């Protein structure tokens, strides 16, 4: 990427010093306690059809904090919840709270329908026949109605709204600005893969990026990964299933190609998690992980004389962080789905699987040529068959491009797309400036939406600078929205 195509952070630092914003990172080594209040909003089941569900509602959960808010001055910071329990995102997005304390903002974290406790049909929500209302568009309409109600009920009609989100939530924050610009003054979309999920791009990009993380850490480690997978494949060809099971420590005996594909997916997923969560300090966002987990994983792998046993040790960082699992139940710990980067487990995983079978396109494959992993294709044809068998639906590969533009966002405004160069999702996002106000920030040494996390003494300089720049831009968006409000009042009086 050319230096002209992204925001160069150092030029902004003098401006930030003048604005007095450089104290934010220095002051906060942990996010301030927001004293969140958990509440529920009666949300329409279906925003776009007046017949089947009429005006029936469900309870949408949200968290709200007015601890930092100054009514006459502060904006409303709104986190567009993604594929999980809202508390998980609130507890891992400390930058929003730090910024709220600085800019006197009201803070809201909204839970996405069909996730956490925001279940339109209770425990049956992710069963076949009950998922039809799980769409990006329905979720955005939920957020729009919730924002309107909160502004009215909390006396925040004049508070400019800034949307925040990470990963899928980052996509939603950008889409909120695009779809509801009269409600949302700007959006910070961290690690938002708006290009790849729209069915655009290289299907081998993701696992190539994961591989690069391990190759850059240690070429010897990357070669050891290749060797381990090749040895497993060779042993399977020889019918030595028991040897593989013993060396890798699987709970069940392995017997054929179905087990081999599951085993490869299980192992590959461990590398995906380590690459995404390659933070410079310990975290518990996607399981309990040590600092620099890619480095630790490589050290574990190379510490074993046998490569398959080394693979077992590396996988233990993800699947046995407690050290209490006597063996790996590869079908329980990893469930193959329409997202080859991993859906997770439980009801939230089922909801995400459905989304990956409808609007969210995630046809990533590994090929053992451009990456270090086994040849595990996931083509659009395979996706279609899986989704038809599992959910009875046919994916619409290009729908998000039709609905929101995919990579062509030149008509949008006031969106920051931030990506860390360690994050395998970065290649599926916006990595260069698209206009004067649709901006890209690259965080060198940053993993998955590192900039949304709370400040930490071990943060790289790049993320400190990125947060400061984001803070200054958001401050200007809020000021511009306030100026627009004053102009409108003047016009109305005249």
CB-based contact 328:320 (threshold 8 Å)? yes
CB-based contact 472:465 (threshold 8 Å)? no
First to last CA, the chain: 50
Q: What are phi and psi of 65, to 5 degrees?
A: -135, 125
**One of 46, 88, 191, 448 is an active-site residue; which one?**
448
Tell me if residue 423 is catalytic. Answer: yes
Closest Cα partner for 109 from 38, 24, 180?
A: 38
Q: How far is CA 421 from the centre of its chain?
A: 15
Tell me if residue 448 is catalytic. Answer: yes
Give the Cα separation of 27 and 238 in Å (integer).
Answer: 60
Sheet with 57-65: strands ordered across: 37-44, 57-65, 106-110, 76-80, 161-166, 184-190, 415-420, 438-443
**One of 348, 423, 451, 459 is an active-site residue; which one?**
423
Q: Is 126 helix (H, G, I), strand (E, B) or coil?
A: coil
Tell me if residue 403 is catalytic. Answer: no
CB-based contact 162:70 (threshold 8 Å)? no
**One of 167, 196, 245, 418 is an active-site residue; which one?**
167
CB-based contact 336:353 (threshold 8 Å)? no
Closest Cα partner for 5 from 447, 438, 477, 406?
A: 438
Closest Cα partner for 38 from 65, 68, 62?
A: 62
User: Which residues are the active-site residues?
Assistant: 167, 423, 448
């Amino acid at each position: 990427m050319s230096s002209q195509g992204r925001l160069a952070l150092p030029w902004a630092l003098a401006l930030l010093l003048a604005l007095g914003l450089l104290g934010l990172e220095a002051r906060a080594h942990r996010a301030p306690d927001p004293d969140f209040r958990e509440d529920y909003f009666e949300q329409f089941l279906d925003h776009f059809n007046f017949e089947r569900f009429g005006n029936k509602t469900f309870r949408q959960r949200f968290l709200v904090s007015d601890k930092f808010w100054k009514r006459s001055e502060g904006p409303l910071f709104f986190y567009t919840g993604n594929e999980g329990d809202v508390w998980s995102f609130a507890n891992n997005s400390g930058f929003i709270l730090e910024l709220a304390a600085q800019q006197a903002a009201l803070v809201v974290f909204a839970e996405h329908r069909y996730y956490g406790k925001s279940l339109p049909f209770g425990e049956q929500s992710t069963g076949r026949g009950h998922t039809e209302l799980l769409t990006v568009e329905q979720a955005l309409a939920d957020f729009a109605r919730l924002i309107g109600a909160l502004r009215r009920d909390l006396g925040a009609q004049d508070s400019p709204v800034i949307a925040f989100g990470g990963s899928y939530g980052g996509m939603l924050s950008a889409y909120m600005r695009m779809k509801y610009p009269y409600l949302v003054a700007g959006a910070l979309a961290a690690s938002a893969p708006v290009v790849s999920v729209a069915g655009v791009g290289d299907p081998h990009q993701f696992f190539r990026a994961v591989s690069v993380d391990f190759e850059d850490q240690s070429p010897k480690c990357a070669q050891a990964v290749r060797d381990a997978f090749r040895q497993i494949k060779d042993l399977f060809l020889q019918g030595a299933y028991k040897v593989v099971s013993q060396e890798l420590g699987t709970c069940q005996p392995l017997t054929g190609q179905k087990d081999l594909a599951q085993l490869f997916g299980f192992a590959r997923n461990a590398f995906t998690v380590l690459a995404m969560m390659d933070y410079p300090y310990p975290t518990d966002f996607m399981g309990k992980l040590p600092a620099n987990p890619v480095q630790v994983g490589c050290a574990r792998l190379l510490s074993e004389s046998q490569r398959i046993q080394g693979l077992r040790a590396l996988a233990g960082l993800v699947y046995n962080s407690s050290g209490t699992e006597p063996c790996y139940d590869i079908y329980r710990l990893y469930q193959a789905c329409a997202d080859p980067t991993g859906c997770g487990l439980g009801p939230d995983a089922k909801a995400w699987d459905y989304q990956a079978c409808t609007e969210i396109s995630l046809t990533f494959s590994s090929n053992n040529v451009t990456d270090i992993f086994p040849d595990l294709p996931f083509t659009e044809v395979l996706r279609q068959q899986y989704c038809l068998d599992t959910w009875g639906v046919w994916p619409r590969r290009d729908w998000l491009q039709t609905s929101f533009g995919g990579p062509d966002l030149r008509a949008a405004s006031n969106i920051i797309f931030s990506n860390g160069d360690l994050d395998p999702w970065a290649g599926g996002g916006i990595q260069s400036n698209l206009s004067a106000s649709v901006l890209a920030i690259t965080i060198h040494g940053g993993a998955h939406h590192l900039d949304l996390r709370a400040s930490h003494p071990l943060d790289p300089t790049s993320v400190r600078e990125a947060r400061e720049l984001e803070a200054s831009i958001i401050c200007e968006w809020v000021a511009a929205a306030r100026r627009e409000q004053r102009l409108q009042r003047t016009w109305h009086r005249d």
